[in-house]
C-alpha cells in the first residue's frame, strides 16, 4: 500500500513540477516577445530617422549642385576667375 501511495505522490509531484515549468516557460516567452517587439520598434524608428535624413541630404546636395550650375551658366567668366583665384591662394598656402 505504501508503494502505491509513494507512486501517487511522485506522479502528483511530477505533474505539479510540469505545470510550474510550463507557467515559467509561458511567462518567459511573453517577456521575450515584449523585449523583441520593443527592440524591433526601436530599430525601425532609427532606420526611419536615418532614411529621412539621407533623403534630405541628397535633396540638399542636388539643390546646391543646381545652384552652382545656374551660377556658372549665368556668369562663366566670374566662375572661372573665382576658381583661378582660389587655386592660386591654395597653392600659396601649401607652399608655406
Tens of pLDDT, residue by residue, the chain (96 residues): 455 666 677 677 777 877 877 777 777 777 777 777 777 777 778 777 776 677 777 888 888 888 888 888 898 888 889 889 999 999 989 887
Tell me the C-alpha distance between 86 and 15, whole Å: 85
pTM listed for this prediction: 0.40
**What is the DSSP-derived secondary structure letter of residue 32?**
H
Cβ pair 79, 72 in contact under 8 A? yes
Structural domain boundaries, residue 20: 2-95
The count of domains in the chain is 1
Separation in Å, CA 58 to CA 21, 25, 55, 62: 54, 49, 5, 6
pLDDT of residue 95: 85
Residue-level pLDDT at 3 = 53
The predicted pLDDT at position 53 comes to: 73
Cα 41-44-49 angle, rounded to 5 deg: 125
Amino acid at each position: 500500500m505504501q508503494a502505491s501511495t509513494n507512486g501517487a505522490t511522485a506522479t502528483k509531484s511530477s505533474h505539479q513540477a510540469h505545470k510550474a515549468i510550463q507557467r515559467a516557460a509561458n511567462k518567459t516567452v511573453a517577456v521575450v516577445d515584449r523585449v523583441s517587439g520593443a527592440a524591433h520598434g526601436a530599430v525601425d524608428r532609427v532606420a526611419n530617422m536615418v532614411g529621412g535624413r539621407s533623403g534630405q541630404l541628397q535633396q540638399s546636395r542636388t539643390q546646391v549642385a543646381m545652384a552652382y550650375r545656374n551660377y556658372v551658366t549665368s556668369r562663366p567668366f566670374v566662375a572661372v576667375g573665382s576658381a583661378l583665384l582660389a587655386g592660386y591662394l591654395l597653392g600659396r598656402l601649401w607652399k608655406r
